[in-house]
Amino acid sequence: MVARNAHRDDGRTRLGIRGAAEVRVAATLAILGLDGMAFLRTGDVGESVLTQAVGEEALKIMRARDKALAIEIANAVARLFK
C-alpha cells in the first residue's frame, strides 16, 4: 500500500511508505540528474505528475541519443574494417 506524504505539525515532511513504482521513478529522475527526492517529498499531485512526465520524456530523449550514438559507433567500426 502506498501512503501519501503527511505533514507534521512543525511543517516538516515525512515520506511515509512508498511503493516500488514511486521509488523507481525517483531513482530514474536521480539518474537523469533531476531531484528524485523532491518527487518523493511533494504532496502536490500535479507537481508529481509533471515531474514524472518530465523524467519520462528525458528518458526517451536519452534512449534516442544513446541509440544514435551506438549507430554512429557501429558505422565507424565498420568503416575501419572495409
Structural domain includes residue 1: no
Domain count, the chain: 1
Structural domain includes residue 38: yes
Model confidence at 80, pLDDT cuts 50, 70, 90, reads very high
Structural domain includes residue 76: yes
CB atoms inside a 10 Å sphere around CB 40? 19
Structural domain includes residue 43: yes
Structural domain includes residue 44: yes
Largest Cα span, the chain? 71
pTM, rounded to two decimals? 0.65
Structural domain includes residue 28: yes
Structural domain includes residue 27: yes
What are 1-60's pLDDT values in tens digits? 344 444 444 444 455 656 888 888 899 899 988 888 888 888 888 988 898 899 899 999
